[in-house]
Amino acid sequence: MGQLGQKPQSVVIEARGLSMNYGSNLIQSNLHFQISKGDVFVIMGGSGCGKSTLLKHMIGLYQPAGGDILFGGQSYFTASPEQQLAMRKRWGVTYQGGALFSDKTLAENVALPLVQYTTLTSKDIRDMVRYKLALVGLAGFEDFYPSQISGGMCKRAGLARAIALDPDILFFDEPSAGLDPLSARRLDDLILQLRDSTGATVVIVTHELASIFAIGSNGVYLDANSKTQLDTGSPGYMLNHSKHDLVKAFLSRGE
């Protein structure tokens, strides 16, 4: 982290002819896109087009039906279990509802990856946990259980857990869904600040237009009817130059 930005254009994630099934249902096929280091990559599209499914393929929870996803040129799915684990440690994933372990306090939730994968003493882990929770604005909530805090706070605590190991790639599933506009804005700012100061690459599933334009630097539009991507590029570029009216309509709320 200390020495960033030597190769700003290097490709971190690349989808090559990716297709995804859900059982025998084809969800999306023939997806091609590239995500560069430091990008905020937005996966967008209407409801039910497979945005979350694409995210779950990217984080290795689902096996693609065809094609491949490359991380720094290496395929996750053909890697050995040790390599897969090493790759996973470089990712941080934030789930829609936070997905905090409900029988653990926030501190224990954030500490879990640190306890598992580092050799830090318990005092150092406590300091790290305090710092990570302070980053997401939850300083002083260490000993609270997820059931004792609000939904928005759960999301931020989930983010604190995702960044526990200083990941290179941060994945978000609908980060601003269910948040009020101000909290959503704060979360967007937080994502950008984290990206700027840690040099992480961010992949976001969202359909909040405000977020898409505020933070997206690159993206892909998935279409539910044709079951493939209609366009890829930065949201601003797609709004003005996309060949597909559907993409333009989506990005301008049909106005």
Partner 1 sequence: MKQATLNFHKVSDSNVVVTVQGSWTVSGVLPAPEQLSAMLDDRLKTVVFTAGDDFFWDSRLLAWLMACQRMLESTHCQFDLSGLPEDVRDLFNLANTVPPNKALPERHASLFHQLVNRLARLGDEAMALLAFTGELALTLCRWFAQKGSARWSDIINFCHQSGPSALPIITLQSVLIGMILAYLGMVQLRQFGAEVYVANLVGVGMVREMGALMTAVIMSGRTGAAYAAQLGTMQVNEEIDALTTLGIKPMDYLVVPRTLALILTIPLLCLYSNILGMFGGGLVATNMDITWLMYLYQLRDAISFGDTMTGVVKSFVFGLLIAMAGCRAGLACGRSSAAVGQATTNAVVTAIIYLVVADAGLNILFYHLGI
- Name the residue nearer to partner 1 (CB basis): 80 or 119: 119
- Name the residue nearer to partner 1 (CB basis): 3 or 47: 3
73 touches partner 1 by CB under 8 A: no
Q: How far is the CB of 115 from partner 1 (least distance, A)?
A: 12
108 touches partner 1 by CB under 8 A: no
61 touches partner 1 by CB under 8 A: no
Please list every residue from 25 through 44 that binds partner 1, using CB under 8 A: none
Residue 152 is which amino acid? G
CA triple 202-205-207, angle to 5 deg: 130
Q: How far is the CB of 13 from partner 1 (least distance, A)?
A: 22
x/- binding map, residues 127-146, to partner 1, per CB under 8 A?
xx-xxx-xx-xxxxx-xxxx
Q: How many residues bind partner 1 (CB under 8 A)?
A: 37
Q: Which two tokens stand for residue 213?
A: 């334009």
- Name the residue nearer to partner 1 (CB basis): 172 or 250: 172
95 touches partner 1 by CB under 8 A: no
- Name the residue nearer to partner 1 (CB basis): 77 or 124: 124
Q: How far is the CB of 122 from partner 1 (least distance, A)?
A: 13
x/- binding map, residues 160-199, to partner 1, per CB under 8 A?
---x-xx-----------------------x--x--xxx-
Pairwise CA distance, residues 75 & 191, whole Å: 26
DSSP per position, the chain: --S--SSTT-EEEEEEEEEEEETTEEEEEEEEEEEETT-EEEEEESTTSSHHHHHHHHTTSS--SEEEEEETTEESTTS-HHHHHHHHHTEEEE-TT----TTS-HHHHHHHHHHHH----HHHHHHHHHHHHHHTT-TT-TT--GGGS-HHHHHHHHHHHHTTT--SEEEEESTTTT--HHHHHHHHHHHHHHHHHH--EEEEE---HHHHHHH-SEEEEEETTTTEEEEES-HHHHHHH-S-HHHHHHHTTT-
Interacting span for partner 1 (CB under 8 A) from 64-72, 113-121, 175-183, 212-220: 113-121
Q: Which residues bind to partner 1, rule: CB under 8 A?
A: 1-4, 102-103, 105, 118-120, 124, 127-128, 130-132, 134-135, 137-141, 143-148, 163, 165-166, 190, 193, 196-198
